[in-house]
Amino acid sequence: MDKKAMAMEFVIGMIILIVALITIILIYRSTLTDSGENLRQTQYDAFNDCDNDGVPNIRDRCCGTPTGDKVDLAGCSGRNDEQHTCCAKK
């Protein structure tokens, strides 16, 4: 092979390598961004207190506790009309 053909093969190989690296970097960055958003939403859902009883949603077993009721560590006041489902976003 002559020098011109070898140089052309080298340039084409480098272009392919650069395109592959850019593709890998873009995929990696989009994965990090998605993971970061999911993590932020999970943290928000876990530590948010949608019924304002002082018990975070992640531990709240009675999410419909009326405002002002005293609650136990599970967020329940002992009333029969409480909603026993979690109000955190799914």
State mean pLDDT over 51-67: 84
Q: What is the pLDDT of residues 13-27, one digit of tens each?
A: 999 999 999 999 888
End-to-end CA separation in angstroms for the chain:
63
The reported pTM is 0.45
How far, in Å, CA of 76 to CA of 59, rounded? 10
Domain definitions of the chain by residue range: 39-90
Neighbouring CB atoms inside 10 A of 58's CB total 14
Q: Are 30 and 37 in contact (CB under 8 A)?
A: no
Calculate mean pLDDT across residues 14-41.
82
